[in-house]
Amino acid sequence: MIKDDLISLVRQATQAAQTAGDLPAFDLPAVVVDHPKNPEHGDYATNIALQSARAARLAPLRIAEQIVKHWPPADFVGRVSVAPPGFINIALDDRWLAHQVAVIQANPATYGNSNAGCGRKAQVEFVSANPTGPLTIGHAWGAVLGDTIANLLTATGWDVTREYYFNNGGRQMRLLGESLQVRCLELLGDRRPIPPDGYRGDYLRWVAATLYAEYGDALAEKDVDFFRNKAVDAIFANIRSTLDRLGIRFDVYYNELDLYYNGKIEAAVKALANSGYAYEKDGAVWLRATELGLKQDRVIIKSSGEPTYRMPDIAYHVDKLERGFEYIVDIFGADHHATWPDVLAGVRALGYNTDGIKVILHQFITLMREGQEVKMSTRRGEFVTIDELLDDITTEAIPGKDVMRFMLLTRSPDSPMTFDMDLAVKQSSENPVYYVQYGHARICSILRKAAEEGFTPEAYADGDLSLLTHPSELALLRRMVALPEVIATAAEQLAPHQLSGYATDLATQFHLFYRDCRVLSSDPADRELTKARLRLCDAARIVLARTLGLMGVSAPERM
RNA sequence: GCCCCCGUAGCUCAGCGGACAGAGCAGCAGACUUCUAAUCUGACGGUCGCAGGUUCGAUUCCUGCCGGGGGCGCCA
């Protein structure tokens, strides 16, 4: 990667200057290379001279000058210069930049990928909603974050498993079954109230109608288990279909109940008891979380003998580790912030290292409709489903998931977001996602037109890239070659929202190139330049499509 | 009371300790006989919540305060 190469060049240059006696001996601090905000300062900059000033007992400018003087040659580096108060600015070489088109064209499916993961096993757990109702806007963010993080990890060399953890037993589920039973009996003319804390959403009416069509009056004889199972089946079918619309497919659906059946919870309880990290008090079993660095101890087995939610969660994470996942990413809503430290503490108490487990908490989405905040509750049946929203923002040309995914990937998960439905629907034609997709469609249009005029991919394959010297061509190339770094950083920081900003920048640079540089020309004198620019267009298309692909957003060829 | 997140342009939000703080939308003024105007150009718009501290240098790190959201169960 460019940045890493530059860091090593800075080190080499500094050592060379020291060996030559142009700089005194001093310990080099960690070299930081980043992008200056002002493009006039070049593509990269390092503050190494400023940081070293004290240790070297020299003015930063003097240090910078000596480092530049001893800068080793490198094909990708153009101008290296010093700027007050002591920055070293580095520009990429124009010829090298132009040549990257060939590199990109040679690797259309993998350009930008790296191998930080070295094929090791990673797991991303997300959505994990219990099947009590349809997926709502509240689930959308975690869904998109998880899937995109999984894409990023795959692109950086991890062997990724997408996993959905759920529980279809327990009190919640019994209430669900009872609620469906009430809806079914309603259809038979037997009116009863929905139990307190039951599920009042209309979706159970639809399930009831389906069941009535199949079973008719026989429904009167069925027990709660029957209704619970039917409700779970129907709701899961709905959830899967919603996920499918979002472009999300899980590798594993993991049922919490299995942890009871296969004895893993019991085993974890025993192990905790033996570890000394569990003790009895008030008839319950407590986890000695305070011994593990937390504020208070927590109940893991209630006095009724039932485990609390922490127990299966602990056993589940142990199971993840035992399945060989070296990197585990959990995506939760902000309401889980107080719970996961307990769970990880339990895992540690069992002797496992939890360093490989990362938790991403996203804030909540406040939904606004007609200027009013919509308070959502699955139990009360008050919510806006992902399906409904997708229906609203889908157009003839573009599926709603593109808008939703892109939108949710423009914000940091840390930032609470308000989602104005009226605005989302109304402004959908001015949504940034269309800006990026339009850039892709525009390129495809040029390439189509070119082919009609005889410039097929084969015909322009030998285009001379050294002809790409226009400032707008170079600006576009600069954004394109940043993809490997963007992917690496977004993956490492588990910050998929960085992709949307990059995609927008890239599209902007293409639109500016399009404005400034005519690609197709009927003048035979322009033939070679046209071929070079077609190669550039093709490479830009590849990079744009890869970026959109990582976000799970489609790259349309026409709009 | 304690814990987590947020407070940046009218609105929604980017911004990895650096060099004059950015984008989109809204609003204003312009550009289609030319490869897609879902585009482009220009102007406008900001005491980066407040106050201290660390640093050569702070929107960024630390502390306190003020606002907003979410948590602090033998619910999940």
Higher-scoring residue by pLDDT: A373, A333: A333
pLDDT at A232: 95
For chain A, give the mean pLDDT.
Answer: 92
Q: Does residue A504 lie within 7 Å of nucleic acid chain B, judged by its CB? A: yes
CATH number at residue A63: 3.30.1360.70
Instruction: Give distance CA A477 / C1' B5 (Å).
Output: 37
pLDDT band at A26 (very low <50, low <70, confident <90, very high): confident
* Percent of chain A clearing pLDDT 90 (strictly above): 75
Name the domain boundary from A245, A272, A298: A245
Over the stretch A378-416, which tens digit does the pLDDT of each residue have? 777 778 899 998 998 888 888 999 999 999 999 999 998
Report which of residues 455-484 in chain A place their beta carbon less than 7 angstroms from any atom of strand B: none
Residue A51 pLDDT level (bands cut at 50, 70, 90):
confident
Tell which residue, A133, A10, A140, has the closest CA to residue A63: A10
pLDDT digits 0-9 by tens, A219-264: 999 999 999 999 999 999 999 999 999 999 999 999 999 999 999 9
pLDDT tens column, A341-351: 999 999 999 99
Model confidence pLDDT, tens digit, residues A477-534? 999 999 999 999 999 999 999 999 999 999 999 999 999 999 998 888 899 999 999 9
Give the pLDDT confidence of A429-456 residue by residue, as tens digits.
778 899 999 999 999 999 999 999 999 9
Residue A405's alpha-carbon distances to A246, A376, A429, in angstroms, are 8, 21, 15
ipTM of this complex prediction, to 2 decimal places: 0.94
**Residue A84 — pLDDT band, cuts 50, 70, 90?**
confident
Mean pLDDT of A555-559: 92
Does residue A140 sit within a domain? no
Rounded, the Å distance between the CA of A447 and C1' of B4 is 50
Is position A380 within any domain? Answer: no
Three-state secondary-structure class, residue A202: coil
Res. A52: pLDDT tops 90: no
C1' (B11) to CA (A483) span, angstroms: 31
Q: Which domain holds residue A43?
A: 2-92
Element (H, E) at A551: helix A527-551
Output the distance from A187 CA to B61 C1' rounded to whole Å. Answer: 63
Residue A534 to residue A542: CA distance in whole angstroms = 12
Mean pLDDT calculated for residue range A14-33: 88
Which residues of A in 33-62 have their CB below 7 Å from strand B's atoms?
A: 34-38, 40-42, 45, 47, 50-51, 53-54
| Assigned domain for A483 exists | yes
Q: Please give the nucleotide, over all strands, whose C1' is closest to the CA of residue A310.
A: B76
A59 inside domain: yes
Residue A19 belongs to some domain of the structure: yes
- Let me know whether A434 and A525 are in one domain: yes
Residue tagged 């406040």 (tokens): A366
DSSP A354: -
Which nucleotide's C1' atom has the smallest distance to the CA of A441? B36
Cα–Cα dist A316/A319, whole Å: 5
State, as a whole number of angstroms, the distance between the CA of A47 and the C1' of B56.
12
A142 within a domain of the structure (yes/no): no
Does residue A519 sit within a domain?
yes
Q: What are phi and psi of A296, to 5 degrees?
A: -145, 155
Here the tokens at position A174 are: 């019994």
> Is A183 found in the same domain as A74?
no
Is a pLDDT exceeding 80 seen at residue A147? yes
Assess whether A295 (CB) lies less than 7 A from strand B. Answer: yes
Confidence category of residue A138, pLDDT binned at 50, 70, 90 = confident
CA of A439 to C1' of B42 (A): 23
User: Averaged over A126-135, what is the pLDDT?
Assistant: 93
Residue A269: pLDDT over 80: yes
- Cβ of A441 less than 7 A from strand B: yes
pLDDT of residue A159: 98
Structure tokens at A126: 């997300």
Query: Long-range contacts for A275-282 (Cβ within 8 Å, ≥24 apart)?
Result: A275/A349, A275/A350, A275/A351, A277/A346, A277/A349, A278/A349
User: A271-299 pLDDT, tens per residue?
Assistant: 998 988 999 988 899 999 988 888 889 99
Average pLDDT (A33-39) is 87
* pLDDT of A417 above 90: no
Closest nt to A38 (CA→C1')?
B19
Å from A254 (CA) to B73 (C1')? 26
pLDDT grade for A85, boundaries at 50, 70 and 90: confident
Q: How confident is the model at residue A56 (pLDDT cuts 50, 70, 90)?
A: confident
Residue A464 lies in a domain: yes
* Whole-number pLDDT of residue A374: 79
The count of domains in chain A is: 3
Distance separating alpha carbons of residues A404 and A402, to the nearest angstrom: 6
> Final residue of a domain: which of A70, A92, A114?
A92
Q: Residue A443 is part of a domain; what is its CATH number? A: 1.10.730.10
Banded model confidence at residue A367, pLDDT cuts 50, 70, 90: confident
Listed residues A29, A63, A92: the one ending a domain: A92
> Could you give the CA distance from residue A207 to residue A148 in angstroms, rounded to a whole number?
32
Q: Is the pLDDT of residue A172 over 90?
A: no
pLDDT higher than 80, residue A62: yes
Query: In this predicted structure, what is the pLDDT of residue A286?
Result: 93
Which strand B nucleotides have any atom less than 7 A from protein CB atoms? 2-7, 12-26, 35-41, 56-57, 68-76
